[in-house]
Chain A
């Protein structure tokens, strides 16, 4: 479904991603693990076209989408749930959800997805008229995820959704992600909580200073000390 080949990207002069190749197949949940500053977000932003790759290729459903404008990539079915949630603080919860479906022109579809979102997160229904900025951190995480689903993604990129959540909520979040996978959605999950994320995943990659240093199935990555090594001083 998604193939990233020898991707190099950075900000200005400094290279941050130095040759990353990875793959997500239909229905798979794949994690991209790595310490803070390893370049995980930059990989996702390069896929989304927010960061223009210096070299390398991104292919989605057989088509080259390298460096295409972000709205086009969203239109093709890749939806990014950004790190730090980035909800639209002055807008209502419902308006945030509507924005998730900005490219969906059929009002019926928007309405039925909105219902699904409220079913998945009843808290958001209670707060639908409230400004998103007034929600708690946990609620904002739900909102960012629900907003992403409103687009009807084929592939969901989740950038450290557990960041800043209380441990109890982290468990709930990962359960929700596991349920999304069960519906057949392909997910690329970026996390620092390696063990918890791998527990849900089919496969994983470990990123360290812009390079993939380990890759394999959940079992392969959980055995041995690849993980521990990868997270040593990044």
Chain B
């Protein structure tokens, strides 16, 4: 097996988690034209939820996935109900600083509660497992995270395309005022959008804990990549989030292999700039 192919497969695996992370952000943006700067912190809290579950309840971060999903869901919905909803009455700049403030609050709140140390899962079913497929050696934890992310992405996609509430969300995204004339409770749609964002970020975090360290500032690393992914795919585009997630994952892995791991973000941004030069609304963006 060629090294390039192997590295690309690693990239696709990571890209599936990026896609799931981008999905939550793009749903919130689509429904209410708002960027959630605290998205990385939702992920971080999901990671702690899974880590703490593994450390104290049952020694496997996978058990923490539903826990992190539930905590993320509540956190997302509460963030909307208690904070964002009020910000909507203010100017746009208040909305930007509002979720930025939420990011800082959660990040440094976590620092105060959990301390600055990096923590890793104590073990688990897939932690540190090698998976040999033909000539290909993969990390079982990464394969699990990728499969879990893909499954969750498919589930949310199905929800958006095939359920009544999903239709309401897409209508709100397409034209909020018209959606209200159909009887859609657009305020409830905002809540649901935030709940989806929080739940998917939380579960992505729990999946990552199988092979990635946890720290109060870990959200920053992933948030930068996620914002780029969403912009690359097109703000508000769900298929765009998927395609862009994979692209970002592969570009990251290939750069780390052939150039230098330090250049990962630089090359991701380079690709992003090139795409946006040609397609200002991203690969699959509408507007």
A interface residues with partner B (beta carbon < 8 Å): 48, 50, 69-71, 74-75, 79-80, 82, 86-91, 95, 98-100, 102-103, 147, 151
Task: Please give me the residue from chain B that is nearest to A107 by CB atom.
Answer: B164
Query: CB-CB < 8 A to A82: which residues of B?
Result: 177-178, 181
**Contact present for B180 and A99 (CB under 8 Å):** no
**Which of A69, A80, A102 contacts B167 (CB under 8 A)?**
A102
**Binary flags per residue of B147-188, CB closer than 8 Å to A gives 1, else 0:** 000000000000000001001101100110111111111000
Query: CB-CB < 8 A to B164: which residues of A?
Result: 102
A75 to B181, CA, bound (A): 10
Query: CB-CB < 8 A to A50: which residues of B?
Result: 177, 180-181
**Which of B170, B177, B182, B286 contacts A74 (CB under 8 A)?**
B182
**Contact present for A99 and B185 (CB under 8 Å):** no
Query: CB-CB < 8 A to A75: which residues of B?
Result: 183
Query: CB-CB < 8 A to A103: which residues of B?
Result: 182-183
**Contact present for B185 and A88 (CB under 8 Å):** no
Task: Please give me the residue from chain B that is nearest to A80 by CB atom.
Answer: B181
Q: Top 7 closest A-B pairs, CB basis?
A: A74-B183, A86-B178, A103-B183, A88-B174, A70-B180, A71-B183, A99-B182
**Contact present for B181 and A86 (CB under 8 Å):** yes
**Contact present for A99 and B286 (CB under 8 Å):** no
Query: CB-CB < 8 A to B170: which residues of A?
Result: 88, 90-91, 95
Please name 20 further chain A to chain B contacts, defined as beta carbons within 8 Å, in addition to the given A50-B180, A89-B175, sorted by A numbering. A50-B181, A69-B185, A71-B183, A71-B184, A82-B178, A82-B181, A86-B178, A87-B178, A88-B171, A88-B174, A88-B175, A91-B174, A95-B167, A95-B170, A99-B167, A99-B168, A99-B179, A102-B183, A102-B184, A103-B183
Query: CB-CB < 8 A to B167: which residues of A?
Result: 91, 95, 98-99, 102
A212 to B190, CA, bound (A): 39
B interface residues with partner A (beta carbon < 8 Å): 164, 167-168, 170-171, 174-175, 177-185, 286
Query: CB-CB < 8 A to B178: which residues of A?
Result: 82, 86-88
A to B contact number (C-beta, < 8 Å) = 63
A89 to B183, CA, bound (A): 18
Q: Among B174, B177, B185, which residue has the most Cβ atoms of chain A within 10 A? A: B174
A-B contact pairs, 5 of them (CB 8 A): A74-B183, A88-B170, A99-B168, A99-B171, A102-B171
Q: Name the distance in Å between B191's Cβ and chain A's nearest Cβ.
A: 14
**Which of A71, A86, A87, A90 contacts B177 (CB under 8 A)?**
A86
Asked if A91 meets B185 with Cβ closer than 8 Å, knowing A70-B180, A86-B177, the reply is: no
**Contact present for A71 and B180 (CB under 8 Å):** yes
**Which of A69, A89, A90, A100 contacts B182 (CB under 8 A)?**
A100
A102 to B171, CA, bound (A): 10
Query: CB-CB < 8 A to A95: which residues of B?
Result: 167, 170
A89 to B236, CA, bound (A): 14
A109 to B19, CA, bound (A): 38
**Contact present for A102 and B168 (CB under 8 Å):** yes
